Structure 1
Amino acid sequence: MVSSPRRVGVLIGDGIGLEIVPAAVTVADAAAAAEDFRIDWDELPFGAAAIASHGDPVPEATLSALDDLGLWIVGPHDSASYPPEHSSRTPGAVLRNRYGLFANLRPAKAFSGVPATAPDIDVLIVRENSEGLYADRNMAVGSGEFMPTPDVALAVGLVTRAASERIARVAFDAARARAASGSPARVTIVHKANVLRLTTGLFRDACREVGKEFPDVEITEQHVDAMAALLVRRPADFDVVVTENLFGDILSDLAGELAGSLGIAGSVNCSTTQVMAQATHGAAPDIAGRGVANPVAMIASVSMGFRRFGLMTDDPALVAAADRIDSAIADTLAASIATADLGGTASTSQFAYEVARRTGVA
């Protein structure tokens, strides 16, 4: 007997989102069926299509629906191509700010069957997602960038103790969870307090204080420039990395490429009650509509969303479905089935079918 359905929002987005989001839905449906539940997908207007239909890339109808949802998946957006009146704030920023999605979790792990620069990498970047030097999220009104004259541009970086402590707890909890298999729990605090003494110094100090609540977790620190070099040289030395917004964005892209490709890098943005699954890469309009887009990152993001929300809501079926998806992705890639960017010949939909088949229900 199929258990009660789970309602999940779907915002397909632009470019290759029209291909990789349906691919991820196909896999998620198969994993859910294997765990005897179904998903009620609530498709909502978003991106360029929403501008055409509602005059806004993130219309009020979409936001009203998301107000009642704990989990949704989001395809990439191509806001650079939007009309000027819609390009000042990205759709992702609108969603992050409205729902307080303060934590961006970005794992990077090499897969068998995917050539990787760092085949021993298995790291989770825990990125503070609401502050830093990002102009779209550090002011209550307006932008954190401004120009007193046409030849001078300034940027305001925002770091608060409360937000730093909040993201630190996410990182330390994640390290404990990842250590459940027997490996030691480790967190590396990344900052630049030798130069940005007040801002990233505050971030570092707040993380240190939270670390005292986790005596079982080994804590190390790195300056961000050294951390970039060490990720390349000794990636296996690192487990969970916690850092501020800009540093986290850069380091997670580096880690994703070291693992093989940004095309395999899943990601979630979350608060303590809501989760948004969104791949780290962009809309890739140059290959949209050709059926060659790599859906791994989107599928992996949905798996991360299932797991995160399942743990939040004590829903073991969602967590079990996430386990099935992760195993199916790994098995498919290990069987040398991949899209062209990873050296394979599978189309987007063919790859999704193969992953779905390996979840246990084709």
Structure 2
Amino acid sequence: MKKVVLIAGDGIGTEITASVKKILETAGAPIEWIEREAGLGAYEKYDNPLPDETVAAIEEHKVALKGPLTTPVGTGFRSINVALRQKFNLYSNIRPAITLPNVDTTFKEVDMVIFRENTQGLYIGKEHWVDGDDKSHAESIAVVTREASRKIITSAFKYALQNNKKKVTLVHKANILKLTSGLFLEVGREVAKEFPDVEFEDLIVDNMAMQMVMRPQQFDVVVTTNLFGDILSDLASGLVGGLGVTGSANIGDDVAMFEAVHGSAPDIAGQNKANPIALLFSSLLMLEYLDEKPIAENIRKAIYKTLVENKDACTLDIGGKGTTDSFTEAVCSNL
């Protein structure tokens, strides 16, 4: 059995984690769950949205599956998710976006994976007021290092090789941000030479956004910096049905965390309406990380079979008539 820290999170978190647990158990996944708390619920209970025992459990067991978290307002915590990524140096944020059967979208045959550098760039929030109390002039600092760039870009190329992807596209703004984005592009060109069997291209981020909504099928693996990756990965999710149907992984050298990136949806919490697909796909990324790929593939086939043959069992947000429970039961039946 492989021990995995499970953080249900807030809002719909308890419902979708219960669904994922049942499906993985039915599939025979050799997982022992170590349940811990984080988010608004943890803050209300312990006066800390990221309790020490949760951090300690992740340090010990190295793998975590996390539901959506609500960051308490006015507590001094900018983002629990960012804190976890920085604490464990989870430098690779991996977001697949794949067209699903029988999910209504404009775009067909999308199959791309976005690799986002997770610890640097503009997104880390290094900001300050230039004029002190006047607060009329603010500056933000973007950090890009050769080491971190090499790690994420190398991860993208290795993924391409291991998953029979033909091309890696590096996204940047080196025409304007000549030092930070320029360094990222420079390292990308260096790494590309080490993987001659994988095609390499680079695109300026504004052109990339346009190309993604014109011909998203042209992209296989995309690698970019933190802020650009944050935006483009949500765009990619939108191409295939939204954040409710796409999984996410955060991987470092020693620790990995898998999560649903959608919100905690408190407005539907406890109503059996939540769609567990995003967290379920995140758990499949986790199973692949744990060298349980056959089990992950079996679950994926069961999900696809449910979407095709029993759409009414699916939740309302993807055009079904069902509930969290009915979707879970349908996938388990297909397994």
After TM superposition, the structure 1 stretch with the greater mean CA deviation from structure 2, 185-194 or 285-294, is 285-294
Deviation at 1:285, TM superposition (A): 1.8
Give the C-alpha shift of residue 357 in structure 1: 2.4
Distance 2:282 2:70 in 1: 19
Structure 2 residue 324 is the aligned partner of structure 1 residue 345: no
Matched-pair identity in %: 40
1:202: how far off?
A: 0.5
1:133-282 matches, within 5 Å, as 133-136=122-125, 144-149=126-131, 150-179=135-164, 185-282=166-263
1:216-267 CA distance string (max 9 Å, x none)? 0000111111111111111111100000011111111111111122110100
Report the Cα distance in structure 2 between the residues aligned to 1:152 and 1:28, rounded to whole angstroms.
51
Q: 2:26 aligns with which of 30, 34, 43?
A: 30
Shift of 1:148: 2.2
1:301-347: CA deviation from partner (whole Å, max 9, x where unpaired): 0111111232xxxxxxx222211222122111122242101111111
The CA distance in 2 between the partners of 1:356 and 1:7, in whole Å, is 22
Q: Paired residue for 1:21, among 17, 25, 38?
A: 17
User: Is the 1:111–1:334 contact (alpha carbons within 8 Å) kept by the matching residues of 2?
Assistant: no
Partner of 1:84: helix, strand, or coil?
A: coil
Mean Cα deviation higher: 120-129 or 301-310: 301-310
Unaligned runs of 5+ in 2: none
Aligned with residue 84 of structure 1, among 74, 80, 84: 74
Residue 92 (structure 2) pairs with residue 120 (structure 1): no
- Cα distance between partner residues in 1 of 2:329 and 2:136: 54
Number of aligned pairs? 330
What SS does structure 1 have at the residue aligned with 2:142? coil
Length-normalised TM-score, structure 1: 0.88
Cross-structure match for 1:132: 121
What is the match of residue 8 of structure 1? 4
Aligned residue for 1:174, secondary structure, equals helix
Structure 1 residue 63: Cα displacement: 1.1
Instruction: Work out the CA distance in 1 between the residues paired with 2:255 and 2:18.
Output: 22
Map of 2:86 onto structure 1: 97
How many angstroms does 1:274 deviate by?
A: 1.9
Q: What value does the CA root-mean-square deviation take over the aligned residues?
A: 1.4
Specify the code of the residue in structure 1 equivalent to 2:23.
Answer: V
Normalized against structure 2, the TM-score is what? 0.95
Q: Following TM superposition, by how much is the alpha carbon of 1:77 offset from its aligned partner in structure 2, in angstroms? A: 0.8
Which range is displaced more, 167-176 or 274-283? 274-283
CA contact 1:191–1:204 (8 Å) conserved in 2 = yes
Does the residue aligned with 1:72 lie in a helix, a strand or coil? strand
On the 8 A contact 2:91/2:252 being kept in 1, the answer is yes
Aligned residue among 320, 333, 349 for 2:294: 320
Query: d(CA) in 2 for partners of 1:211 and 1:56?
Result: 43
| 5+ long unaligned stretches in structure 1 | 137-143, 311-317
- Once the two structures are TM-superposed, the CA of residue 194 in structure 1 deviates from its matched residue by 0.8
AA aligned to 1:333 is L
Aligned residue type for 1:327: K
Whichever residue aligns with residue 146 of structure 1, its letter is: H
